[in-house]
């Protein structure tokens, strides 16, 4: 099938140009100066709109078992919601728990996803138990499975936690095979002490989830991870869901020294706060329990994160999409905030929420596209197949209407959740037509045309974003 996206402005990291985009089959065949493209039968009118690469969410958790339940979005419901939001690729996390075989954990995630996805997908691998077998498995996953990034946790003792010695060994292995270490950087041992002390004082409401995970313990773990990566001969290090100013300062300092240190943030840390959401009356704040936690609006975190996106000290915006329903799931923590499942749903809203930053003058159009599409592709071995409007790339394309408006609500979203973390937010822009490998998933009227199972597993190469 051949189609022409005509009359729009193509946005990429290097600039914005009026251009017509010709799609042939699953790939982009050519990018033409306006009016120079050949006549084709199927034309999408993008007049007055932006034409951007399909967005890549590099941090999702579909069907993740956590806290006595599982994330409420399956690969089917989650990738359908992603498509509505202009995201045409996700990278989810396969899980090896302590004592399990790495390859068995990967096989379990393949089984969950295969035949169920509407958009393309890849996997990172969580290493929950660093030992000789898992280190050997890291080599085989890079070499044979197209998995080139591995996540470790400095938090959650007894579940995913790795000590400094285990972290160093995994970093050394990653340095050898060229892969990326992704780090949940919070001092979990110290957090557990603060949690038990708070509960002993009768402090059980959701807001105490945030108060017992202070900025200092994110900053300390971030700094420690950076120095451990230095000992591992500058192992590439990617800090996930960075939320706090002092952690960002540690990343910025390392990058100023020329280190291969990178970080993402998430929309929740750019918009939501400890006081207004996590601290909502009664148990309502449980809807916004996530780790790292929301930070105080009385400090400079949100402004500093926006600045970090402008300066590239924060390279990517992902969602850490890990949704739980309020009823029956978040309610597992009634009377004990430490039992509230950690996670916020947002895979459908990232493109719009970041565009609001453009509308507010906090990001350029080019930086918007870079943080949601191009850099994720480069960081995680998908470029130039993904993340760019260029001949030969997959025809993953979003036509975005800067003059449209989007109102976020549980009544209209497509995620499998009984609430919205961004209820009532109004966005100065709107996702229009969404195309994945040449196939229209969502048309300009908002009608869905996707097919379950059409999403392909992506074997990824090594990062092309290293210094």
Domain-located, residue 178: yes
38-86 tens-digit pLDDT: 999 999 999 999 999 999 999 999 999 988 899 999 999 999 999 999 9
Question: Can you tell me the distance from the alpha carbon of 456 to that of 338, in angstroms, rounded to the nearest whole number?
Answer: 37
Residue 97, pLDDT > 90, answer no
Q: What pLDDT score does 67 carry? A: 82
**Structural domain for 213, as ranges:** 54-379
Q: How much is the average pLDDT of 448-452?
A: 97
Q: How much is the average pLDDT of 102-106?
A: 97
Residue 158, pLDDT > 90, answer no
Rounded to 5°, angle at Cα 407 from 402 and 411: 145
Is residue 258 classed exposed, middle or buried when 0-12, 13-18 and 19+ CB atoms within 10 A define those classes?
A: exposed
State the average pLDDT for the chain. Answer: 97
Domain-located, residue 256: yes
Domain-located, residue 275: yes
- DSSP symbol at 344: B
Share of the chain above pLDDT 90, in %: 97
Residue 183, pLDDT > 90, answer yes
Residue 111, pLDDT > 90, answer yes
Q: Which residue has the tokens 């960081």?
A: 379
Q: How much is the average pLDDT of 438-467?
A: 97
Domain-located, residue 415: no
327-367 tens-digit pLDDT: 999 999 999 999 999 999 999 999 999 999 999 999 999 99
C-alpha distance across the termini of the chain, in Å: 40
Q: What pLDDT score does 445 carry? A: 96
Domain-located, residue 113: yes
Share of the chain above pLDDT 70, in %: 100
Number of alpha carbons in the 13 Å side-chain half-sphere of residue 454 = 17
Number of compact structural domains in the chain: 1
Domain-located, residue 434: no
3-state secondary structure of 81: helix
Q: What pLDDT score does 99 carry? A: 84
Supply the CATH number for residue 211's domain: 3.20.20.140
- Element at 310 (helix H, strand E): helix 301-311
Domain-located, residue 16: no
Question: Can you tell me the distance from the alpha carbon of 160 to that of 129, in angstroms, rounded to the nearest whole number?
Answer: 7
- DSSP symbol at 277: I
163-174 tens-digit pLDDT: 999 999 999 999
Peptide bond into 200 cis (omega under 30): no
Domain-located, residue 439: no
205-239 tens-digit pLDDT: 999 999 999 999 999 999 999 999 999 999 999 99
The token duo for 386 is 């993904």
């Amino acid at each position: 099938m051949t189609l022409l996206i005509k009359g729009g402005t193509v946005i990429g990291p290097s600039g914005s140009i009026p251009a017509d985009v010709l799609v042939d089959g699953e790939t982009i065949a050519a990018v033409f100066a306006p009016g120079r493209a050949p006549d084709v039968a199927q034309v999408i009118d993008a007049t007055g709109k932006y034409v951007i690469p399909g967005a890549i969410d590099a941090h999702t958790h579909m069907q993740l078992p956590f806290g006595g339940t599982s994330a409420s979005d399956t690969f089917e419901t989650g990738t359908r919601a992603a498509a509505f939001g202009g995201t045409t690729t996700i990278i989810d996390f396969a899980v090896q728990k302590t004592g399990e075989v790495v390859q068995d954990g990967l096989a379990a995630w393949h089984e969950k996803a295969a035949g169920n996805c509407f958009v393309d997908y890849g996997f990172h691998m969580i290493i929950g138990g660093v030992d000789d077998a898992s280190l050997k498995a890291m080599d085989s996953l890079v070499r044979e499975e197209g998995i080139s990034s591995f996540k470790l946790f400095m938090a959650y003792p007894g579940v995913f936690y790795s000590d400094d010695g285990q972290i160093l060994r995994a970093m050394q292995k990653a340095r050898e095979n060229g892969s990326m270490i992704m780090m949940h950087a919070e001092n979990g041992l110290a957090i557990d002490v603060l949690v038990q002390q708070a509960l002993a004082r009768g402090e059980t409401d959701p807001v105490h989830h945030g108060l017992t995970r202070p900025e200092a313990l994110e900053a300390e773990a971030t700094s420690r991870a950076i120095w451990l990566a230095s000992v591992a001969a500058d192992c590439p290090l990617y800090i996930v869901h960075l939320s706090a100013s002092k952690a960002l300062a540690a990343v910025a300092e390392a990058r100023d020294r020329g280190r291969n240190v990178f970080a993402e943030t998430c929309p929740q840390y750019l918009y939501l706060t400890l006081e207004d959401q996590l601290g909502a009356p009664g148990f309502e704040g449980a809807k916004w329990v996530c780790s790292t936690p929301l930070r105080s609006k009385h400090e400079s975190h949100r402004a500093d994160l926006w600045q970090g996106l402008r300066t590239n000290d924060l390279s990517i915006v992902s969602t850490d999409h890990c949704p739980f329903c309020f009823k029956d799931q978040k309610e597992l923590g009634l009377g004990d905030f430490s039992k509230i499942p950690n996670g916020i749903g947002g895979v459908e809203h990232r493109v719009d929420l970041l565009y609001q930053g453009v509308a507010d003058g906090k990001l350029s159009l080019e930086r918007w596209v870079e943080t949601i599409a191009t850099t994720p592709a480069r960081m995680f071995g998908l470029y130039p197949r993904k993340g760019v409007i260029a001949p030969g790339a997959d025809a993953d394309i979003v036509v975005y209407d800067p003059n449209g408006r989007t109102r976020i609500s549980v009544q209209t979203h497509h995620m499998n959740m009984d609430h919205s973390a961004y209820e009532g937010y109004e966005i100065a822009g709107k996702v229009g037509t969404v195309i994945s490998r040449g196939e229209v998933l969502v048309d300009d009227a908002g009608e869905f045309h996707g097919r379950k199972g059409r999403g392909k597993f992506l074997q990824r190469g090594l990062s092309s974003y290293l210094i």
